[in-house]
Structure 1
Amino acid sequence: MLSGERPACKWERLAVERFLRDLDRQDTPGFPYRFDEAKACRPINFGECFPHVKGQWARASGKANRIRFEPWQKFGLANIFGWVHVDTGLRKYRRVYDCEPRKNGKSIKAAVIGLYLLTEDGEFGAEVYCGATSEKQAWEVFRPAKKMAEKQPSFRRKYGVTSHAKRMECDNVGTKPLPDGSKRWPDGSRFEPVIGKPGDGASPSCAILDEVHEHPDDTLYDTMLTGMGAREQPLLLAITTAGTNTAGPCYALQKELEAVLQGSIENEELFGVIYTVDDPENEWRTEEGLIKANPNLGVSVSREFLLARVRDAEQSPRKRSIVLTKHFNVWVTGKNAWLNMLDWNRQADPALTLSEFEGEDAKLGIDLSETDDLTASVLCFRRYVDGQAHYYFLGRYYATEEKVKEHDHYDEWVQGGHLVECDGGTIDYQEVEDHILESAEQVQIEQCFYDPCGAAHLAQRLQQHRGIEAVKVGQTYTNFSAPMREFERLLKAGRIHHDGNPCLTWMFGNVVAKETEDGKMLRPVKENRDNKIDGAVAALMAFIAAHEPDEDEDLDDFLQDPIIA
């Protein structure tokens, strides 16, 4: 792979480079780990003793029926189980993030890991859980593990495994023989699916969380992780495809792993590989992209099947997001999202700061909540590059202390400096105003476009006492239709720029374009009450104020008269 013989995405290459780098770090100060080849091979050999339980291989007989791991799968298993502490011999990695497209065999691999940690980990009273948000999903790993055990009598005999309707139990091997000569006794070791979070008494030695992109919050993940405190070498395995909720725990975990692989943070207990494409805009249409994202191409997933899905995506924008997430591991936004968030993310520039626009003219858009919802204040600057207008967005976003406690992603944004937390249960409008006035000392703010629902009082105060003209903009088809179409056009042309604030990105990803019956006009709405769009609306209002049509545009089509509604 490193030689280029097999195409691989950036994240797979970085995972391999990390492994080779750690091999070189063995026996050096500050790196208390070694790679134990025997321990690395044991779960691989263990898994290849089991039969396939579905698909064409399950119909085969003899050795053709047995599981055979591909090299890329062996690489993952060897890393998880082969790296151990020099002194204790315990595993280095305690958390694993495995992001693979559908049909690449992640459920079978996870089932083998679950069976191995049930029987071969030396953990007395082992508790292995398959956790998910629904019973159906929780069984996606547990069912094949249960069938594999039931189809392998020698496995059940050796480890004393008994299979029940909704769990498996086993008798661990003891050090002293029992009266009948056996070295086993019932120690409570079990393997079972779990929906939601397990009971307070659970002490997982292994937790396999399936399709983590569907988890709305960190509850299950954190419950499993905190319950592992009494275990010597627990393992939390998160397996998933990409998804649409960039504010959820799965996306946050992926970003953490990406930072580890890039070397921007150090975390010796986290391992993972992400199989995707480097150029989400174009590579999904190529043979190289198929191989990068689907390491089991031609084995468990057929080229013909994927090519058919690619044709579906080319013919239907609605199907494109499904194909990108499920078969190429590309994170996109909601099913009915207005913008192509690949375009939006491409225009992110974290280096953008207010000081870069010192003394320049800015337009302000504000969308204030009535009580405790998200509040947004966004500045838009216009600059000319090669004779064309480009638009730059910088904002501040606010949430109450109570809302931050309710939403894990809010808390993460607060910790990262992307969201301002207001004390108590209401937004501090004085703090919002103070921040606007601070900005007005650096840049020239002449106009404030605002949503009359909530922001009227602040906007009027800015006009009366600070001389910033207040213009109210109702969220109507008339006011937003042409600006939204123009904003989308400019974004695709690379003429919209922003600082990459994840809070604003999430809100733009939540925007749905609601059309009139004839499809000629549109306005921004959200799919559900939890998908906030306040920052996006504030940015669009600032854009309405700052926009200057190109020479070939019709100004009357952009702004209907009057704008005030």
Structure 2
Amino acid sequence: MKATMTTRSPSKDTFPRWIYDDTPIPDPVGYGERAVEFLRRLKHPKSTLLRKQFQLDPWQERIVRAIYGPRDDAGNRIVSTVVILVPRGNRKTSLSAALALLHTIGPERVSGGEVIFAASDRSQAGIAFKEARGIVQADTRHLVPVTKVYDAFNSAKKIAYPSDGTELEVISADAPSKEGRTPSFVLADELHVWRGDQLWKVLTNGLDKTDNSLLVVATTAGRGQDNIAHEVIERARKIARGEITDPTCLPVLFESPADADYASEEVWRRVNPGSAHGYPSLKGFRQHVNRAKDSPTERDSLLQYKLNVWLDHSTSPFVDMATYDKGAAPIDYEALRGAPCWVGVDMSKTTDLSAVVACFRDGDRYTVLPHFFCPEADIRKRGDLDGVNYTSWAKDGFVTATPGNVIDNAAVADCIRSLAERFQVQEIGFDVAFAQGVMAPLVDEGYPVVTIRQGWVTQSPALNVLERAIISGNFRHGGHPVLRWNFANVAIQKDANDNRIIHKSKSTDRIDGVAATWMAVSRAAAGDSSRSIYDHPDAVELLSW
């Protein structure tokens, strides 16, 4: 029979109670005990224990036993993926480095095996490598004579174990070549800052080529939902809650709910497992709490890095994204055929992302139908730069990738014509910037094109209408992932009179869909009367009826 931990019953809570409840962890062949003993024999240059012994605290020991103890009928390790989500200061890097050495010079090593530290860039990957190097060099009697450390400036960072041909190596997403890997162990460090998924795919595909391989994801909470880290963590949450049964994945998730009392020491201690052993600093936490009371930036930093609350992209958001998500139910757009709609268009630079959003109004309810466009050439590279998967979005129909390295204006114009064929288009509102190539043919053909100014006078009342619809639950978007990403990126700027405008320079990424949405919703709001919601007569300029 397979030796596995007790199956978890479904729960909304992802807290790893098994670390503290003393439930037996199967270890039929003793490999869990073997791993613990190896780690205890290591040394650490910063250790305060006798003879610099590596400090393996009880919560860490339980994790190690849960990884290496359970085995299948053939004696193979059951766990192949570990997802550790823990706040900063809990020594996850030290534990990860020790686990890597277990696979490089310890009893879990594979002859000729590749052990990889992977991170978003060489600097980040170097942090974990520094931990491993320090552990090796702290044991001058046993480890220094049998290993070779390569750590020259601007060259490969490696720890080699020549007698068995095993190497620990640092690689990063910004490395020129990452293909052809067949690792036996991978540490994916601080996954929340990885941009794109290319390195992730290379490494996970490589792990699949090796029997008994192990992937350890060790990260702090991140921002946004359109990244590989959120995808990995969300699946781990489902496993922790018992919604998915997958004994090959071990979730170790120390995180707080978004509405947790950040000033509560009880909350802090619960999600910082090292707090019972003197780290991270309780005094430092109190100081951070005091700063957070007066600073939204410090509060976000406290929530993300010390309470492990997964935040949205923007540090000055337009709306709470949990409230926004209430409008994600599927929409039957075919049922709207022939209905009046108002269209907002935001044309970006020809190499970026452009948006066309149609808005339908039913009393106080607004339903939007978004369309996005980007150039097809180098689409994966563009996605890596923006930290999203344009390729997948294009495949799933959420983005239209037009041929070439610039957005095809004709494709955008055709999209608008298609909307006019299916619905009663009342107005097509454009931000005039970069829009002439799409506007001109539509004006010539007699479509109801208007330009909408983008300043305080226009945006502030429009954003009020949009915000009111979202908060009241009257904004339906069908869960369109690109539009959600755009909304999560928005930062808002206020003037002395509390007028609001989208702060483009502080918005974290693309926001074209939000611009198109506020234009469409605001024109729909004014569409059933002769009055505009804007106070200024120049807010909207009619080009053609």
Q: Same fold (TM over 0.5)?
A: yes
Picking from 357, 368, 376, the partner of 2:347 is 368
Q: 1:104 and 2:81 equivalent?
A: no
Q: 1:298 and 2:276 equivalent?
A: yes
CA distance in 2, matches of 1:285, 1:392: 39
Picking from 100, 112, 117, the partner of 1:125 is 112
Q: Which residue number in structure 2 is paired with residue 547 of structure 1?
A: 525
Q: Which residue number in structure 2 is paired with residue 27 of structure 1?
A: none
Q: From the superposition, tell whether residues 230 and 215 of structure 1 become closer, same or farther in structure 2 (CA, over 3 Å).
A: same
Q: Deviations over 1:108-128 (max 9, x none)?
A: 210121110112224112332
Q: Which residue number in structure 1 is paired with residue 228 of structure 2?
A: 249
- TM superposition shift of 1:222: 3.1
- TM superposition shift of 1:430: 5.6
Could you say what secondary structure the match of 2:306 adopts?
A: helix
Q: Which residue number in structure 1 is paired with residue 15 of structure 2?
A: 12
CA distance in 1, matches of 2:397, 2:13: 28
Q: Which residue number in structure 2 is paired with residue 178 of structure 1?
A: none
Q: From the superposition, tell whether residues 258 and 376 of structure 1 become closer, same or farther in structure 2 (CA, over 3 Å).
A: farther
Picking from 25, 28, 39, the partner of 2:31 is 39
CA distance in 2, matches of 1:263, 1:401: 40
- TM superposition shift of 1:445: 3.5
Q: Which residue number in structure 2 is paired with residue 148 of structure 1?
A: 135
Q: 1:115 and 2:115 equivalent?
A: no
Q: Deviations over 1:172-223 (max 9, x none)?
A: xxxxxxxxxxxxxx33322243344466565432222222222222243333
Q: From the superposition, tell whether residues 298 and 75 of structure 1 become closer, same or farther in structure 2 (CA, over 3 Å).
A: closer
Query: In the alignment, residue 375 of structure 2 is paired with which amino acid?
Result: T
Query: In the alignment, residue 330 of structure 1 is paired with which amino acid?
Result: V
Q: Which residue number in structure 1 is paired with residue 210 of structure 2?
A: 231
- TM superposition shift of 1:284: 3.5
Query: In the alignment, residue 140 of structure 1 is paired with which amino acid?
Result: I
Q: From the superposition, tell whether residues 293 and 398 of structure 1 become closer, same or farther in structure 2 (CA, over 3 Å).
A: farther
- TM superposition shift of 1:348: 4.2
Q: 1:561 and 2:540 equivalent?
A: no
Query: In the alignment, residue 108 of structure 1 is paired with which amino acid?
Result: S
Q: From the superposition, tell whether residues 79 and 455 of structure 1 become closer, same or farther in structure 2 (CA, over 3 Å).
A: farther
Q: Deviations over 1:33-82 (max 9, x none)?
A: x974622333233223334543xxx234369x5513333x3443334323
- TM superposition shift of 1:360: 5.2
- TM superposition shift of 1:522: 5.0
Q: Which residue number in structure 2 is paired with residue 469 of structure 1?
A: 448
CA distance in 1, matches of 2:392, 2:17: 25
Picking from 508, 513, 528, the partner of 1:535 is 513
CA distance in 1, matches of 2:271, 2:435: 46
- TM superposition shift of 1:328: 2.4
- TM superposition shift of 1:316: 0.6
CA distance in 1, matches of 2:509, 2:159: 40
CA distance in 2, matches of 1:288, 1:441: 59
Q: From the superposition, tell whether residues 471 and 292 of structure 1 become closer, same or farther in structure 2 (CA, over 3 Å).
A: farther
* Number of residue equivalences: 513
> Pairwise mapping of residues 22-171 of structure 1 onto structure 2 (< 5 A)?
36=28, 38-54=30-46, 58-61=47-50, 66-71=54-59, 73-87=60-74, 89-119=75-105, 120-152=107-139, 155-156=142-143, 160-163=146-149, 165=151, 166-171=157-162
CA distance in 1, matches of 2:439, 2:242: 45
CA distance in 1, matches of 2:56, 2:117: 23
CA distance in 1, matches of 2:110, 2:408: 52
Q: Which residue number in structure 2 is paired with residue 421 of structure 1?
A: 401
Q: Contact (CA 8 Å) 1:460, 1:470: kept in 2 or not?
A: no
> Pairwise mapping of residues 378-457 of structure 1 onto structure 2 (< 5 A)?
378-383=357-362, 389-406=364-381, 407=383, 409-427=389-407, 432=412, 435-436=415-416, 444-456=424-436
What is the TM-score when the length of structure 2 is the normalising length? Answer: 0.78
Q: From the superposition, tell whether residues 187 and 527 of structure 1 become closer, same or farther in structure 2 (CA, over 3 Å).
A: farther
CA distance in 2, matches of 1:295, 1:446: 58
Query: In the alignment, residue 402 of structure 1 is paired with which amino acid?
Result: A
> After TM superposition, what 4+ stretches of structure 1 lie above 6 angstroms from structure 2?
262-268
Query: In the alignment, residue 319 of structure 1 is paired with which amino acid?
Result: E
- TM superposition shift of 1:106: 0.9
Q: From the superposition, tell whether residues 107 and 284 of structure 1 become closer, same or farther in structure 2 (CA, over 3 Å).
A: same
Could you say what secondary structure the match of 1:190 adopts?
A: strand
Q: From the superposition, tell whether residues 541 and 142 of structure 1 become closer, same or farther in structure 2 (CA, over 3 Å).
A: same
- TM superposition shift of 1:136: 3.5
Q: Contact (CA 8 Å) 1:374, 1:397: kept in 2 or not?
A: yes
CA distance in 1, matches of 2:476, 2:275: 37
Structure 1, 488-497 or 312-321: larger mean CA deviation: 488-497
CA distance in 1, matches of 2:264, 2:71: 39
Q: Which residue number in structure 2 is paired with residue 30 of structure 1?
A: none
Q: Which residue number in structure 2 is paired with residue 502 of structure 1?
A: 481
- TM superposition shift of 1:535: 0.7
Q: Contact (CA 8 Å) 1:525, 1:533: kept in 2 or not?
A: no
Q: Which residue number in structure 2 is paired with residue 180 of structure 1?
A: none
Q: Deviations over 1:311-350 (max 9, x none)?
A: 3223211222222221222333446544255455543423
Q: Contact (CA 8 Å) 1:99, 1:241: kept in 2 or not?
A: yes
Q: Which residue number in structure 1 is paired with residue 154 of structure 2?
A: none
Q: Contact (CA 8 Å) 1:246, 1:331: kept in 2 or not?
A: no
Q: Which residue number in structure 2 is paired with residue 339 of structure 1?
A: 318
Structure 1, 102-111 or 143-152: larger mean CA deviation: 143-152
Could you say what secondary structure the match of 1:298 adopts?
A: helix
Query: In the alignment, residue 61 of structure 1 is paired with which amino acid?
Result: L
Q: From the superposition, tell whether residues 214 and 61 of structure 1 become closer, same or farther in structure 2 (CA, over 3 Å).
A: same
CA distance in 1, matches of 2:235, 2:202: 19
Could you say what secondary structure the match of 2:540 adopts?
A: coil
CA distance in 2, matches of 1:416, 1:323: 36
- TM superposition shift of 1:515: 6.3
Q: From the superposition, tell whether residues 140 and 373 of structure 1 become closer, same or farther in structure 2 (CA, over 3 Å).
A: closer
Q: From the superposition, tell whether residues 135 and 309 of structure 1 become closer, same or farther in structure 2 (CA, over 3 Å).
A: same
Could you say what secondary structure the match of 1:499 adopts?
A: coil
Q: Contact (CA 8 Å) 1:146, 1:168: kept in 2 or not?
A: yes
Structure 1, 258-267 or 91-100: larger mean CA deviation: 258-267
CA distance in 2, matches of 1:240, 1:43: 22
> Pairwise mapping of residues 483-494 of structure 1 onto structure 2 (< 5 A)?
483-484=462-463, 487-488=466-467, 491=470
What is the TM-score when the length of structure 1 is the normalising length? Answer: 0.76
CA distance in 1, matches of 2:16, 2:417: 47
- TM superposition shift of 1:290: 2.6
Query: In the alignment, residue 86 of structure 2 is paired with which amino acid?
Result: E
Could you say what secondary structure the match of 2:461 adopts?
A: helix
CA distance in 2, matches of 1:419, 1:134: 29
Q: Deviations over 1:89-114 (max 9, x none)?
A: 33344343322111122112101211
- TM superposition shift of 1:448: 2.1
Q: Contact (CA 8 Å) 1:242, 1:331: kept in 2 or not?
A: yes
> Pairwise mapping of residues 344-355 of structure 1 onto structure 2 (< 5 A)?
344-355=323-334
Structure 1, 300-309 or 256-265: larger mean CA deviation: 256-265
Query: In the alignment, residue 431 of structure 2 is paired with which amino acid?
Result: D
Percent identical among aligned pairs is 22
- TM superposition shift of 1:142: 2.1
Query: In the alignment, residue 83 of structure 2 is paired with which amino acid?
Result: Y
Query: In the alignment, residue 57 of structure 2 is paired with which amino acid?
Result: F
- TM superposition shift of 1:168: 2.8
- TM superposition shift of 1:236: 2.7
- TM superposition shift of 1:295: 3.2
